[in-house]
Structures are given as structure tokens and as C-alpha cells.
Chains A and B, each alone.
Chain A
Amino acid sequence: MGNRKKPTDKDIRDAIENQPKISKTTVLSSLLAVSNKFHYIPKNAVEIVAKYTGKTINDVWGVASFYTNFRFTPPGEVTLDICWGPTCHILGSQKILKDVHGLLGIDQEGETKDGKITLRYSTCLGACSQGPVFAIDHKLFGKASLSKIKEKISGI
């Protein structure tokens, strides 16, 4: 997932300043900009966002800890999302999750031991008509099965 180097204060300020133009920049819009650029919220970003938006560090932590897409440690090189929403559930996503745990050698969300893959459970990826659905770095795949997931993450 791109930049592996720890982002400097300047990197973070650049990400915030170059966020898509909106009429009022907010804590959330700034955190999204940081998260989209570095795939996590580095510790120093909280203070920078607070300064930039004129809010307190508490305000920023409040928002950052609320939205479940934010994380505070770098993810693996690749993020694998597997949907557990009702459609995918009916179509067998619990079994897929269980199998993927086995495949990756982990028993919950998070990083594989080698740090290469991050597994996330998703509430809905928005392609229910192709369920069960999974995504690799936001790219969607339908009709999920263990073999299909294996094929798509092979070589990582």
C-alpha cells in the first residue's frame, strides 16, 4: 500500500492542505485526507489536524475514534475486506470468514504475522447483487469463495 515510510509533519500538512476542495474544511475531512494518503492516522497527525482546524486534540481524537474506517497503526501491504452483511451472510460469508482465518493464520481482524495482509470485516461493500463480496484495496470482487480469494491474493 504505497508509502511505507513514517510520514513527517510536512507530509501530513501537505495531505491536509491538498484535500479535495470544499467550502468548509473540517476535522473529519482533514482526517479522511490523511487516512486516504497514508492508510492510517499517524499520531502526529492528530495534533496537526487540531491546529489546522482550530479544534482541540480531544475533538480530533473524538472524531478519529468514532468512524470505523480510521486506524492508528500502518496496515499491511494489502487490505482484504470481507463482507458480513445480511446478503453475504445468507450466501455463506461466515464460512468464508472462517476459511480465510485458516488461510491467513489469524483468528480475527488484523494483520497477518508477516504484516503483509490486513483482514477487515465489512458491513457492506455495496455490490450485494454479486454476493458474497470481498475487496482488495477497495477493488471489489463478487461470488467470493476461498479459492477465488486465494487466487486474488496469491503472489502477495
Chain B
Amino acid sequence: MEFNQIKHISLQEWDNLNSKDTIWIRVGYGASGQAAGAQEIFDLLKELSSDMDNINITLVGSMGLSYAEPLIDIKNNSGVRIFYNNVTPKITKEIFNYLIEKDAPLSEYVFGQVVPKGEKPIDGFIELDKSEPLKFTKQIATKNFGSISPTNINHYIANGGYEGLSAALNELDPEKTLNRVKNSGLRGRGGAAFSTGIKWSFLAGINSNIKYILCNCEEGDPGAFNDKGILENDPHMLLEGLILAGYATGASNGHIFIRDGHEIPIENSRKAIEQAYEHNLLGENILGTGFSYDVEVSLTGDSYVAGEETALMEAIEGKRSMPRFKPPFPAAFGLWGKPSNINNVKTLSYVPYIIKEGSEEYKKIGSESSSGTAIVCLSGHIKRPGMYEIEMGMTIKDLLQNIGGGSSTKNEIKLLQTGGPLGGVLGNEDFDVKIDFDEMSKVGAILGSGGIIVADSTTDVVDLIRTLVAFNQFESCGKCFPCRLGNTHMLDILNRICNSKPKDGDMDVIKKIGNSMKTGSLCGHGQLGYSPIASAIKYFKDEFDVALSANHPVDSNIDEMILPTRTRP
């Protein structure tokens, strides 16, 4: 089938759903929606509408507004989407019955509205996309969030999906496709922020029948849920980027790498791949252009280090996910010994936009050195926790205030924990810093994968750092002894300090251990183990001093820290 025909069918389905005589109810799901109880709301709506023909109920991904979940929206004959936040089964029933009786929104529960082009807003309701926090966002990779079914390829295609792929295959050769990505200034969103185009060119320059593009959705960083968020919302966005990466680099196979147990992203990815094969967007001779490419889902067990690029390949090969010695680098010797390239989910999800709209359009967004957007995850002591796509260059202060709505407690925000457990803390004296790879690194902060954990002034910094070290200790793969033993030793000392039993020179010992870990470990897990401690001392030396004078504030809840006992033998 020609792409135009596929598009035609998709648009028909989409227009039917949006026609005036159809009621379309969307329930925001994903991990966050599930945790808020969205499944029960969906089941209830299904039950209530079971004998009604003109009502469609769809599970969509989460819009990112976690604080408003369970979040549902109803489009009736007005064409406008009316949103209801924090619904309970009881409220859902009321809203539904009112809709059936009066064919109108139940004002007292309305959260806001989203008005499609050409429709008129309804008086009295705020327009969500024109109010806080969404008016401060910029949606590129997340543009379909909350509006399409993640398990229906037609929804994606009806909203412009696979147009970039079709255009690239028909109008651009691989080199031009790669150059478009290179010129866009796209930098990897997994943490290292390396130029994606240059990374791809390493792989493109190697001749081999088999080459792999590995998409990393391991996402073990606590506080980050945007990779899984993309797969929960819009797996085809990632898949299109993954196919384009294959085309640009001459790769033969793609893998989506996810931790077992995250059922929604796994199921969505599998379904998306299956649908892409059915539509000849994967497999032999894609869309009749001669390009062939296969994609599959690879699962790993619980291991944080599996997110490291060479450990990831070990896991796909079915082994213990321990990092390999480099060189050889993955572009030369990767998965199964074949040339490979590893990209983060977010990175690949920008590619369809870049190919479709061009490098210059993408470059217009964001800041000089960090083009595009950042998809950030807010959690902790923040009024509006959730997942937001913002333009690079926004200050942390604006992010916390305009998007996050400020502290969720009566206390001010004291610090952010960013960059995952190997990242660090950012004290509030530096909240003027811009969200930008280079600006953030100037103050020693790491944007990392976009997880931002917000902590208010009651947070005990020494205890928070102990938790990060405990995480790193628990997750060390054990291959390099400086990391395996170093983290254990650091945790012992921090436990002692937290229990008000410090010894002279404790911090010097920790620093020494950190140095050994930095020089003696193969991967970032050991190399960066001291970073969270260093950053915490930079901002909160006084709190460490108090703790080191055997005066750690006593809190009966935390002094005996409860930690897992499992270790890796």
C-alpha cells in the first residue's frame, strides 16, 4: 500500500472519532495515571457506556499533568475537549449521567478545555493550553500526549506521523537524512549530551551487513519517567525515529531495550512494532523503497547498570549487565560483535520532527548550544508534579514557579536533585541557571535524563545523600572493585554520620574513596559515585559540619535506614 492510502484511511478513522455525532471520552493512563487510579475510571466508563453506540472510550497516555490525575476529557457535539481532573468513580458517574441526560459538561467538576482549530471555546472554562502550566511548554516530541491512543497506528498517522519517514525514504538519501539531524544540533538526551548526528556518522562510516541501532529505555534513574512516558503515550513517535536512525546510518536492525515489569511501555512498543510491520513501515522493502529494517523489543532484568551502553549490549546478549572495556567502541564492536549505536528514547523521538520540518526549524527552538526542548519530570515537594516538555533556555526558577507552581508545602524549596543518583544536588542560590546542557554544567549541575526531584527546606541533606549512595551501592554491578567496595564503604561511613557517630577525617576518607572510584571504574557508575556528595558539600557544608560534630538531627524515622538486603554475588 502507498503511504498516501494509509494516510487516507487513518484520517477517515480520526475524523469519525472527532465528528459531531460521536462522543469521545479519553482517559489519561500510563504509570502515573495507573497510580492515580485511572484504570478503575476507564473500566467504569466502559461499563456505563456498554450499550451505547455513539460513545468511544479510549485509554490514552498521560498529558503529563500528574497532579490532575485521574484526568479524563470528553468531546461531545461541541467539538471541544472538556477536561475533568482528579475524578473519583462517584464523580465520573455524575459527569457521565449528566452528559447523557443534558448533553453538556458538568461545570462544577470541569478542569478546563482544549479547543481544536476552527471550534469555539465554551464560556466559563479556562483553556488549558493557554493557561499555566501548559502555556509555558513547547510540545515537539510530546505533541500527541494525552490525545491519541498509543495502541492505534492510525491515530499517529492521522496526526502527521510517518510523514518524515515517507519523505526521507522517497526524497532524501541516507546521507542527507543524517545531515539533517547533524545540522539540527540535536544532542543526546540520555545524559551525555553528545551530538546525535556525529554519533550516527561513526556508525554510518562502517561497512557491515548487520548494524544495530539500540534504543535505550532502561531508565533506572529514580525521578525520571519521560522515556517510559513516551512509550506510554506515543510509541510510534519513537519507532519512526528509530527507523529513520536505521535509514540514516545504514543499519539493519533496531532494538527497544526496556526493563521487564514495565508492562505498559513494553506492550505499547510490541504493538507499535507489529502495526508497523502490517503497514510495511518495517520489514523488507519498506514502502517499496528498497530499504529493509527490523525492530524488536529486548528486555532486561532489574539492574540499573544495564542502562550503560556496553552493559546494555551484554544484557541483550543474555548475560550479566556489566560494562565492557572500551575501546573497542560500540560503533566498531557492539551487540553480538557488530557495529552498534545507542540512543536514548527522547533523542530518537525528536528525529521525526527534524526530518519533517528541517534542521533550521528545530534549531529555532531552544538555546544556542542546546537546540530543541527538554522533557523534564518534576516530583517531590512540588505543587504540580508531572512531565513537561519545555524549551531549552528556561531558568530553573521559572520552571519551578510557572510550570511546577512552587513548593507543595509551606516551606520554600531548598534544593533539586538532578541527573539521577549519580548526578547531584542544586542549591536554591543557583536557581537562576538556565536549563541548557552547557549552562547547567557551568554550575556543576547535570540535566541528565531530565528527572528533577524537588526538596523543601525540611529535607535533611546528609540523609538524602545517604539514600543516593545507598542506591548506588545496591545497584553497583560489582565488576570493578573500587565501585563495588567503595560505595559500600561510603555508605557505612554515611550511616555512621547519620547516626551521630562520626569519626575524625570521615569526609577525607570518603573523598579518597571517591577518587579511587573515579580512576578505577570502567563506567560512570563508579566514576561518578562521589559527585552527589561533592555537590552536596558545595551547597550545604554547614549541614555536613553539624552532622560531623556528632550532632545529626535525630529523627527516629530515618536513623535506622531500611534498605534491601539482596546483593549481587
Quick check: A138 and B379 within 8 Å, CB to CB? no
Q: Which bucket holds chain A's interface residue count?
A: 35 or more
Q: Does B59 contact A (CB under 8 A)?
A: no
Q: Given the complex of chains A and B, what is the CA–CA distance between A142 and B386 in angstroms? A: 13
The answer on a CB contact under 8 Å between B34 and A87 is no
Q: Which of B114-122, B294-302, B367-375 contacts A (4 or more CB under 8 A)?
A: B294-302
Complex CA–CA separation, A107 to B39 (angstroms): 32
What residues on A are CB-neighbors of B228 within 8 Å? 126
- Across the interface, which residues of B come within 8 angstroms of A84, CB to CB? 467, 562-564
Q: Which of B270, B474, B562 touches A94 (beta carbons < 8 Å)?
A: B562
Contact check, A109 vs B565: say whether CB atoms are below 8 A apart: yes
Chain A, 23-76, CB within 8 A of any chain B CB: 23-24, 26-32, 36, 53, 62-63, 65-70
Complex formed: what's the CA distance from A20 to B298 in Å? Answer: 10
Q: Is the CB of A66 within 8 A of B568?
A: yes
B263 at the interface (CB under 8 A from A): yes
- Which of B17-25, B191-199, B312-320 touches A? B312-320
Minimal Cβ-Cβ distance residue in B for A70: B301
| Shortest Cβ gap from A111 to chain B (Å) | 14
- Cβ B568 vs Cβ A95 within 8 A: no
Is A130 a contact partner of B318 (Cβ separation < 8 A)? no
A133 within 8 A of B: yes
Give the number of residues in B that approach A within 8 Å (Cβ atoms).
Answer: 73
Does A78 touch B at the CB level, under 8 Å? Answer: no
B166-174, B215-223, B505-513: which lies at the interface: B215-223
B380–A91 CB distance below 8 A: yes
Are B471 and A140 in touch, CB under 8 angstroms? no
A124 to B464: give the CA distance in the assembly, Å.
Answer: 15
Cβ 8 A contact of A140, one of B34, B316, B336: B34
Which one of A21, A85, A94, A130 lies within 8 Å of B35 (CB-CB)? A130
Contact at A127–B225, with CB atoms within 8 Å?
Answer: yes
Is A126 a contact partner of B262 (Cβ separation < 8 A)? yes
Is A128 an interface residue when CB atoms closer than 8 A count as contact?
yes
Q: Chain B residues with Cβ under 8 A from A138's Cβ?
A: 261, 263
Q: How far is the CA of A124 from the CA of B380 in the complex (A)?
A: 14
Q: Which of B296, B302, B379, B386 contacts A87 (CB 8 A)?
A: B379
Q: How far is the CA of A141 from the CA of B35 in the complex (A)?
A: 4
Interface locus among B451-459, B516-524, B533-541: B451-459
Which residues of the other chain, A, contact B297 by a CB distance below 8 angstroms? 20, 22
Cβ–Cβ contact A109 & B566, under 8 A: yes
**Cβ–Cβ < 8 Å partners of B7 in chain A:** none
| Selected contact of B387 from candidates A22, A27, A129, CB within 8 Å | A129
Chain A contacts for B565, CB-based, 8 A: 108-109
Pick from B34, B263, B299, B421: contact of A127, CB under 8 Å: B34
Is A123 part of the contact surface with B, judged by Cβ < 8 Å? yes
Interface residues of B in 9-38 (CB under 8 A from A): 31-32, 34-37
Whether A131 and B380, one on each chain, are in contact in the complex, defined by CB atoms closer than 8 angstroms, is yes
Within 8 Å CB of B566, what residues of A? 68, 109
Q: Is B552 located at the chain interface by the 8 A CB criterion?
A: no
Closest chain A CB from B375 CB (angstroms) = 13
* B6 touches A (CB below 8 Å): no
A150 contacts B by Cβ under 8 Å: no
Task: Say if the beta carbon of A1 comes within 8 Å of chain B.
Answer: no
Q: Is the CB of B261 within 8 A of A69?
A: yes
- The smallest C-beta distance from B173 to any residue of chain A, in angstroms, reads 27
When the two chains form their complex, are residues A128 and B223 in contact, meaning their CB atoms are under 8 A apart?
yes
Contact A86 B417 (CB under 8 A): yes
Judge whether B379 and A31 touch: CB under 8 Å: no
Query: Given the complex, which residues of B lie within 8 Å of A131, measured CB to CB?
Result: 379-380, 385
Query: Which residue, of B31, B263, B294, B421, has the highest number of chain A Cβ atoms within 10 A?
Result: B31
Binary flags per residue of B530-569, CB closer than 8 Å to A gives 1, else 0: 0000000000000000000000000001100111111011
* Contact status A124-B221, CB under 8 Å: yes
Determine if B303 and A23 form an interchain contact, defined as CB atoms under 8 angstroms apart.
no
Least CB separation from B458: chain A residue: A90
Cβ contacts A to B, 30 pairs, < 8 Å:
A26-B319, A28-B315, A28-B318, A31-B301, A36-B260, A63-B320, A66-B301, A66-B320, A66-B568, A67-B303, A69-B302, A83-B222, A86-B453, A87-B453, A89-B467, A94-B562, A95-B557, A98-B557, A109-B566, A120-B564, A123-B302, A123-B304, A123-B471, A123-B475, A126-B219, A128-B224, A128-B377, A128-B385, A129-B225, A130-B66
Given A63-B320, A125-B31, 18 other A-B contacts at CB below 8 A? A20-B270, A20-B297, A30-B318, A66-B321, A70-B301, A84-B563, A84-B564, A85-B223, A86-B223, A90-B464, A108-B562, A120-B564, A121-B563, A123-B222, A123-B302, A124-B220, A126-B219, A129-B378
What is B's interface to A at a CB cutoff of 8 Å? 31-32, 34-37, 39, 66-67, 69, 219-225, 228, 253, 260-263, 270, 294, 296-304, 315-321, 336, 377-381, 385-387, 417, 421, 451, 453, 455, 459, 464, 467-468, 471, 474-475, 477, 557-558, 561-566, 568-569
Residue numbers of A with Cβ under 8 A of B are 20-24, 26-32, 36, 53, 62-63, 65-70, 83-92, 94-95, 97-98, 101, 108-109, 120-121, 123-131, 133, 138-142
